[in-house]
A and B are shown apart, each in its own frame.
Chain A
Amino acid sequence: MLQLQFTKDTLPDSVINDFQNLNKFNEQQFTSLTEILFNFLLEPKEADRFLHQLSEFAGENGMSAGPLRNLMKSLLLLPHGSLKKNLTEDQVKEDLLTLGVSEDKADHFSQQWSLHYPVLSRLAVGQTLMVNQLVDMEWKFGVTVGTSELQKVGNTFLQLKLVIRKGNSTENVYMELTLPQFYNFLHEMERAKASMDCFS
Chain B
Amino acid sequence: MSTHYHEWEKAPSKDAVRQLCADSFPSGAPESWRLAESTAGTLSVSAIEAKELIAALHTLSHHILFHNLTAPEQILVLFPKSFHPSLKNLITKIMLEHSPPWRNEALSNQISLPHLVEMDWRVDMKTASDSVSRMAVPTCLVHMKVEDSSCLRGSGALSSVTVELSKETLDTMLDGLGRIRDQLSVVAGK
Contact = CB atoms under 8 A, between A and B. Distances in A.
B137 A128 contact: yes
A190 B187 contact: no
Nearest to B188: A156
Interface string B156-182: 000001111111011111101110110
A129 interface: yes
A164 B131 contact: no
A128 B119 contact: no
Contacts of B112: 157, 176
9 contacts: A149-B62, A149-B66, A149-B110, A150-B107, A164-B163, A176-B113, A178-B115, A189-B170, A199-B123
Contact of B170 (A144, A162, A175, A192): A192
Contact of B162 (A83, A131, A157, A158): A131
Interface stretch (B14-22, B81-89, B138-146): B138-146
Q: Is the interface of A mostly helix, strand, loop or mixed?
A: mixed
Among B110, B125, B139, which residue has the most Cβ atoms of chain A within 10 A? B110
Interface residues of B, number: 58
B176 to A, nearest CB: 6
Nearest to B159: A173
A141 interface: yes
A169 interface: no
Contacts, number: 157
A186 interface: yes
A179 B116 CA distance: 11
Among A132, A152, A159, which residue has the most Cβ atoms of chain B within 10 A? A132
Interface string B103-116: 10011011111111
A156 B187 contact: yes
Nearest to B118: A181
Contacts of B171: 193
Interface of A: 83-86, 121, 124-125, 127-134, 137, 139, 141, 144, 147, 149-153, 155-159, 162, 164, 173-179, 181-186, 188-193, 195-196, 199-200
B6 interface: no
Among A185, A192, A200, which residue has the most Cβ atoms of chain B within 10 A? A192
Interface of B: 62, 65-68, 103, 106-107, 109-116, 119-121, 123, 125-126, 129-140, 142, 144, 146, 161-167, 169-174, 176-178, 180-181, 183-184, 187
Contacts of A181: 116
Please give me the 8 A-B residue pairs with the lowest Cβ-Cβ distance, nearest first: A149-B106, A176-B113, A128-B129, A199-B138, A195-B123, A124-B131, A134-B163, A196-B138
Contacts of A182: 177, 180-181, 184
